[in-house]
Amino acid sequence: MSGTINEFEMAQRQFDHVAKLLSLDPQIAEVLRWPMREFTFRIPVRMDDGSLRVFQGFRVQHNDARGPNKGGIRFHQAETLDMVRALATWMTWKCAVADIPLGGGKGGVIVDPATLLTSEKERLCRGWVQNMWKNIGPRQDVPAPDVGTTPQMMGWMMDEYSKLSGQYTPGVITGKPVGGGGSLGRTEATGYGVIYTVREAMKHLKLDSKKCVAAMQGFGNVTQYAAIGFIEMLGGKVACVSCWDRKYKTSYTYSHTDGVDPRFLMTITDEYGTIDKEKAITAGYIVEDGEAWITKEADVLMPGALGGQINADNVSKISKCVKIVAEGANGPTTPEADEYFKQNGIFDIPDFLCNAGGVTTSYFEQVQNDMNFYWSKEEVLGKLDAKMTSAFYAVLEMSEKHKVYMRDAAYMVAIDRVVKAMQLRGWV
């Protein structure tokens, strides 16, 4: 984040801007500017050495007019209530733009999960559910993985909820491991979803994907599969990926003269997305500082890590070759950087459209849990492609019809749908 604005202010600023464009009734706008419910709680956890640590937990339920709240749980050392509020708000827009019958929520814990032993992580996950179980559920609020949380953690959380409620309830949480109530394709879903929208943006801009180069930030779940998709589905080249290095406490950009090989890099990456620097160098990778990704000569920039990464301080370092910014991360672009994209004719695929593949497949997971009948990976990814493609065109059409920036158009589509649901339910 670039110091000057926090994420929730950013989410509200984006919303206010579009509320004005839509001439939205100020009283309805006031409902949508703030989350409906917020939970903050302390989670005591017994560490393996016998000591007791107390963690701060959060869950924010922004709006559930269209269906149960939905959104991940982040385990991050710099988590704040405002961050969770922003992310919960974006989930409302994300589910609406993807046209899935869910609302927006987000949770978090202030913790660096890499500092915990497996048994301690399990107790923390169970402790989170012990605090929240009365206020989550398949018809209330359905968490999922996000930064710092994994399918295994979702499995423990589902188990804790099932024990407390006395009923096996896989649909309480998504992103579970396959074989433990998870859906095939969920692991790939967010990254592949990014690529489905990039593919459509390239068609729209008449770019030949086989001649395109992408520069990507991050190497967690989203970037790993976005890089694979960019190479294997679109035939393009990935110039670089980057990652936070836990050992050296800084971030690095990894590039290769032949383009990076994400499937190889995944074999030398830990579960939190840190690439083993020494092994990468041995394999011929060039290592630069973490900001280098943004300056690469690429047609597509894909921020796939944390928020606020393209901001007033670095946006002018973007190469003149960049035609598309595909926002794999949540909130990677600050309003100042948005201005730069607008002025320079850069086509932005906004976060809550671009990375909606994760939550869309979470929705499919819940549907399968409800039916107790599971689909093949091809079926899941085929349905995902159809949803992402139609979401992309709904936003593009709005953008062309009203001659507005893609982020504004995505907000217009999403706000329209949420307001309509609130009106139909008689809330406003």
Catalytic residue numbers? 106
β-pairing, 52-63 vs 104-110, is antiparallel
Neighbouring C-beta atoms of residue 402, cutoff 10 Å: 13
Listed in sequence order, the residues at least 6 apart from 140 whose beta carbon sits closer than 8 Å to its beta carbon are 68, 69
222 binding ligand GLU? (CB under 6 A) = no
**147 vs 346, beta carbon nearer ligand GLU:** 147
Question: Token pair for residue 143?
Answer: 């968490």
How far is CA 237 from each of CA 159, 193, 327, rounded to the nearest angstrom? Answer: 41, 18, 18
In 3D, which of 354, 356, 348, 278 has the Cα closest to residue 318? 348
**298 vs 380, beta carbon nearer ligand GLU:** 380
Q: Which stretch binds ligand GLU (CB under 6 A): 69-77, 264-272, 294-302, 399-407?
A: 69-77
350 binding ligand GLU? (CB under 6 A) = no
217 binding ligand GLU? (CB under 6 A) = no
The single residue among 221, 223, 362, 369 that binds ligand GLU, judged by CB under 6 A, is: 362
Question: Token pair for residue 305?
Answer: 């890590």
Give the span between the Cα atoms of 120 and 340, in whole angstroms. 45
Restricting to residues 289-328, which ones interact with ligand GLU according to CB under 6 A? none
**144 vs 394, beta carbon nearer ligand GLU:** 144
Question: Token pair for residue 139?
Answer: 């018809």
Q: Which stretch binds ligand GLU (CB under 6 A): 39-47, 68-76, 309-317, 389-397?
A: 68-76
330 binding ligand GLU? (CB under 6 A) = yes
Least CB distance from residue 97 to ligand GLU, whole Å? 11
The single residue among 96, 294, 359, 421 that binds ligand GLU, judged by CB under 6 A, is: 359
Least CB distance from residue 149 to ligand GLU, whole Å? 8
From start to end of 272-365, where are the E strands?
286-289, 300-303, 324-326, 347-349
The single residue among 45, 97, 144, 184 that binds ligand GLU, judged by CB under 6 A, is: 144
Give the span between the Cα atoms of 411 and 12, in whole angstroms. 12
Give the span between the Cα atoms of 94 and 196, in whole angstroms. 16
Least CB distance from residue 290 to ligand GLU, whole Å? 22
**98 vs 275, beta carbon nearer ligand GLU:** 98
In 3D, which of 351, 347, 282, 339 has the Cα closest to residue 311? 339
Q: Which stretch binds ligand GLU (CB under 6 A): 44-52, 227-235, 356-364, 374-382?
A: 356-364
Report how far apart the first and last C-alpha atoms of the chain are (Å, whole number). 34
71 binding ligand GLU? (CB under 6 A) = yes
Which strands make up the sheet holding 141-145, listed edge to edge? 37-46, 52-63, 104-110, 69-76, 141-145
Least CB distance from residue 360 to ligand GLU, whole Å? 8
Neighbouring C-beta atoms of residue 26, cutoff 10 Å: 10
Give the span between the Cα atoms of 103 and 63, in whole angstroms. 5
61 binding ligand GLU? (CB under 6 A) = no
Q: Which residue(s) pair with 144 in the sheet?
A: 72
The single residue among 174, 224, 274, 366 that binds ligand GLU, judged by CB under 6 A, is: 174
Q: Which stretch binds ligand GLU (CB under 6 A): 29-37, 210-218, 230-238, 351-359?
A: 351-359
Give the span between the Cα atoms of 364 and 201, in whole angstroms. 25
Least CB distance from residue 355 to ligand GLU, whole Å? 6
**224 vs 330, beta carbon nearer ligand GLU:** 330
Binding site for ligand GLU (CB under 6 A): 70-72, 94, 144, 146, 174-175, 330, 355, 358-359, 362
